[in-house]
């Protein structure tokens, strides 16, 4: 009885994987648990083990080739399926065997993007191409509709949008997306170094662009005084380092405070599907990890609300290590409900990050450093050096409004500044 080895499911949205290398060859005896092959998806690179023992009879997808999740990549043990009899014809220059083609249920590729509505203000109809151009270039549809109606027309098409784009600047600070036709020949390359994006970066790029295009981002920032936390941090630093082997940073404190603040503002920890907000009972906290400028992954700490500062520090450390060594598993990348993007190391003041759909918000933390601040004392107000840092939140304005987000940030600030953080470390580092 032969066993088929399938391309495994490696994450919620992963549809296919590329086999980077085979560790065994056809004819090798395989024991259950042996490493069989290494696969790369848009999220991870991972080694797959054999779940049965037997002889590796067939490799159907070679190194370098891509296969869909669930496709048979190899056969272990048993007889090879009976081969068809050879063709009787004299012509033996048989046509080369066709490579696996499309998914049988996706012979035609429906685009994943969605742009603005087909009907505009005043029942104006908008062509699909016009809708795309309007969304990609942030053209003011209200103005367009008014212009068209004034001329007695009822339709916004490409010509209308392009002439509007030519005569006025884009209405927001965001740069317009490039409008490259999908099937046109690529622009002539510049005479400099070409950096080709790898699979992870390409897929990340697509996702980022999609999230940016479809979610109305609003960014708010608040300044937080980290002096109290800094005091606790420095006090516990050595014991923590000795106990856990890595250094205690601000991030686990911020993560803890975020989990606590979410209890009072649960709408920031939710999923939005276009019509309703599903609040999540737990906080699965995504932590953005930069892979040495070679892509971005956001592994998830599950049920983060149950962890202490130390617990969060350890969990995040583990995930970051796995991410940097390419060992994240599918469970590490799925189920996130809120994310944190930590940019402090680079010294920036604030960052407006891109939301990870279907989440509705993401927190950014930037440089925390000594800055002059006004401190109120019973004796009066004085300027003093304090550890100050900006916390920013990008949120999906469809899910909730600015007042709610601001209140959340305010609550977060309050927790970070006024909570007794020493208690977190009472008794143990």
Partner 1 sequence: MGVAELSYRDAVIRGIAQEMDRDNRVVFLGEDIGKAGGVFKSTVGLYEKFGPLRVRDTPISEQAILGAAMGAAMTGLRPIAEIMFSDFLAVCFDYVANEMSKLHYMTNGQLSCPVVIRTGNGGGARFGAQHSQSVENWTMMIPGVKVVAPSSPVDVIGLMAAAVRDPDPVVFHEHKSLYATKGEVPDGVIVDTLGTAKILRAGGDCTIVALALMVPRALEAAATLASEHGIDAEVIDVRSLVPLDTQTILGSVSKTGRLFTVEENPRLCGWGAEIASIVADEIFWDLDGPIVRITTPHIPLPAADHLEDLALPSAARIVDKVRRVLKA
Partner 2 sequence: MASGSNPAVQSAPLSNDDIGLERRLELFRLQVEIRDCEKRAHDLFFQNLIKGTSHLSIGQEAIAAGFGVAMQKGDKSFCTYRGHAHTLARGASMEGLLGELMLRDVGLMRGKGGSMHLTSVEHDVYGSYAIIGAHLPIACGSAWRAQYLGEKDVSVVFFGDGTTNIGAFHEALNFAAVWKLPVIFVCENNLYMEYTPIGDVTAVKHPAADRAASYGLERILVDGNDADVVYRTAQAAIEKARRGEGPSLIECLTYRHSGHSRADPGKYRPPGELEEWLKRDPVIIYRQRLKDFGVTDDTITGIETESKRKVDAATATAKASPPAPVEILTTDVYADGGWAWRN
- Six-digit token pair at 235? 């006090």
The reply to whether 426 sits near partner 2 by the rule CB under 8 A is no
- Long-range contact set of residues 176-179: C-beta below 8 Å, sequence gap at least 24: 176/136, 176/137, 176/138, 177/136, 177/137, 177/209, 177/213, 179/133, 179/136, 179/137
Residue 413 vs residues 231, 305, 385, 387, 421: alpha-carbon distances, Å: 17, 18, 18, 13, 13
Number of Cβ within 10 Å of residue 157's Cβ equals 16
Q: Between 115 and 400, whose beta carbon lies closer to partner 1?
A: 115
Q: Among 25, 27, 64, 94, indicate the residue that binds partner 2 (CB under 8 A).
A: 94
Q: How many residues bind partner 2 (CB under 8 A)?
A: 23
| DSSP secondary structure letters along 298-362 | --EETTGGG--HHHHHHHHHHHHHHHHTT---HHHHS---EEEEE-GGGT-S---PPP-TTB-EE
From partner 1, partner 2, none, which one binds at residue 273 (CB under 5 to 8 Å depending on kind)? none
Q: Among 27, 64, 106, 107, indicate the residue that binds partner 2 (CB under 8 A).
A: 107
- Rounded to an integer, what is the distance from CA 136 to the centroid of its chain? 21
Is the backbone peptide bond immediately before 154 cis, with ω within 30 degrees of 0? no
Distinct helix (H) and strand (E) counts, the chain: 9, 22
From partner 1, partner 2, none, which one binds at residue 372 (CB under 5 to 8 Å depending on kind)? none
CA–CA dist 313, 130 (Å, integer): 49
Q: Catalytic: 401?
A: yes
Phi and psi, residue 43, nearest 5°: -115, -40
The reply to whether 111 sits near partner 2 by the rule CB under 8 A is no
Q: Among 25, 27, 64, 82, indicate the residue that binds partner 2 (CB under 8 A).
A: 82
From partner 2, partner 1, none, which one binds at residue 129 (CB under 5 to 8 Å depending on kind)? partner 1
Q: Among 92, 93, 99, 420, indicate the residue that binds partner 2 (CB under 8 A).
A: 99
Q: Among 4, 136, 220, 369, indicate the residue that binds partner 2 (CB under 8 A).
A: 4
From partner 2, partner 1, none, which one binds at residue 101 (CB under 5 to 8 Å depending on kind)? partner 2
Containing H/E element for 147? helix 141-150
CA–CA dist 71, 85 (Å, integer): 25
**Contact partners, residue 377, CB within 8 Å, separation at least 6:** none
From partner 2, partner 1, none, which one binds at residue 104 (CB under 5 to 8 Å depending on kind)? partner 2
Q: Between 100 and 170, whose beta carbon lies closer to partner 2?
A: 100
Q: Catalytic: 3?
A: no
- Six-digit token pair at 152? 């007695």
User: Per-residue b/e over 193-231, b at no fewer than 16 CB within 10 Å?
Assistant: eeeeeebbbebbeebeeebeeebebbebbbebbbbbbbe
The reply to whether 173 sits near partner 2 by the rule CB under 8 A is no
Q: Among 21, 26, 72, 129, indicate the residue that binds partner 2 (CB under 8 A).
A: 72
CA–CA dist 334, 406 (Å, integer): 28
The CB-of-392 to partner 2 minimum distance in angstroms stands at 47
Q: Between 97 and 151, whose beta carbon lies closer to partner 2?
A: 97
From partner 1, partner 2, none, which one binds at residue 183 (CB under 5 to 8 Å depending on kind)? partner 1
Q: Between 57 and 351, whose beta carbon lies closer to partner 2?
A: 57
Q: Between 88 and 380, whose beta carbon lies closer to partner 1?
A: 88
Residues forming contacts to partner 1 in the complex (CB under 8 A) are 84-85, 87-91, 94-95, 108-111, 113, 115, 127-132, 157-158, 181-184
Of 392, 408, 409, the closest CA to residue 349 belongs to: 392
The CB-of-211 to partner 1 minimum distance in angstroms stands at 18
Q: Among 85, 175, 188, 381, indicate the residue that binds partner 2 (CB under 8 A).
A: 85
CA–CA dist 46, 217 (Å, integer): 33
| DSSP secondary structure letters along 168-211 | S--SSSSPPPP---TTSPPPPPPSS------HHHHHHHHHHHHH
Q: Between 129 and 370, whose beta carbon lies closer to partner 1?
A: 129
Q: Between 87 and 376, whose beta carbon lies closer to partner 1?
A: 87
From partner 2, partner 1, none, which one binds at residue 209 (CB under 5 to 8 Å depending on kind)? none
Q: Between 132 and 256, whose beta carbon lies closer to partner 1?
A: 132
From partner 2, partner 1, none, which one binds at residue 334 (CB under 5 to 8 Å depending on kind)? none
The catalytic residue positions are: 397, 401
Residues that bind partner 2 (CB under 8 A): 1-2, 4, 71-72, 81-82, 84-88, 94-102, 104, 107
């Amino acid at each position: 009885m032969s066993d088929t080895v399938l391309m495994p499911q490696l994450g919620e949205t992963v549809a296919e994987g590329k086999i980077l290398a085979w560790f065994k060859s056809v004819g090798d005896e395989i024991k259950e648990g042996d490493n069989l092959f290494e696969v790369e998806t848009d999220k991870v690179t991972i080694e797959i083990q054999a779940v049965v023992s037997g002889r590796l009879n067939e490799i159907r997808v070679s190194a370098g080739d891509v296969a869909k999740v669930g496709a048979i990549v190899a056969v272990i043990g048993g007889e090879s399926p009976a081969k068809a009899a050879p063709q009787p014809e004299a012509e033996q220059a048989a046509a080369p065997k066709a490579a696996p083609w499309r998914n049988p249920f996706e012979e035609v590729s429906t685009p994943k993007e969605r742009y603005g509505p087909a009907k505009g203000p005043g029942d104006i109809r908008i062509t699909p191409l016009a809708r795309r151009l309007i969304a990609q270039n942030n053209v003011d549809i209200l103005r367009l509709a008014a212009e068209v109606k004034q001329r007695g027309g009822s339709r916004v098409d490409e010509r209308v949008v392009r002439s509007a784009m030519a005569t006025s600047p884009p209405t927001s600070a965001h740069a317009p997306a490039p409008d490259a036709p999908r099937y046109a020949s690529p622009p002539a390359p510049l005479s400099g170094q070409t950096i080709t994006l790898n699979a992870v970066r390409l897929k990340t790029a697509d996702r980022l662009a999609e999230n940016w295009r479809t979610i109305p981002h609003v960014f708010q920032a608040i300044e937080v005084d980290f002096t109290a936390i800094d005091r606790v941090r420095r006090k516990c630093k050595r014991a923590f380092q000795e106990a856990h082997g890595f250094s205690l940073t601000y991030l686990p404190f911020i993560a803890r405070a975020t989990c606590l603040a979410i209890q009072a503002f649960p709408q920031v920890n939710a999923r939005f599907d276009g019509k309703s907000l599903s609040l999540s009972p737990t906080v699965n906290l995504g932590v953005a990890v930069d892979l040495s400028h070679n892509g971005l992954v956001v592994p998830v700490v599950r049920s983060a609300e149950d962890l202490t500062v130390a617990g969060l520090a350890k969990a995040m450390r583990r995930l970051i290590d796995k991410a940097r060594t390419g060992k994240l598993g599918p469970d590490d990348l799925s189920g996130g409900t809120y994310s944190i993007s930590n940019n402090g190391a680079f010294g920036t003041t604030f960052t407006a990050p891109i939301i990870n759909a279907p989440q509705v918000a993401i927190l950014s933390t930037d440089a925390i450093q000594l800055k002059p601040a006004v401190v109120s004392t019973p004796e009066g107000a004085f300027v003093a050096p304090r550890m100050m840092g900006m916390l920013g939140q990008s949120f999906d304005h469809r899910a909730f409004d600015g007042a709610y987000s601001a209140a959340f940030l305010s609550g977060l600030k309050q927790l970070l500044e006024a909570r007794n953080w020493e208690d977190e470390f009472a008794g143990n580092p």
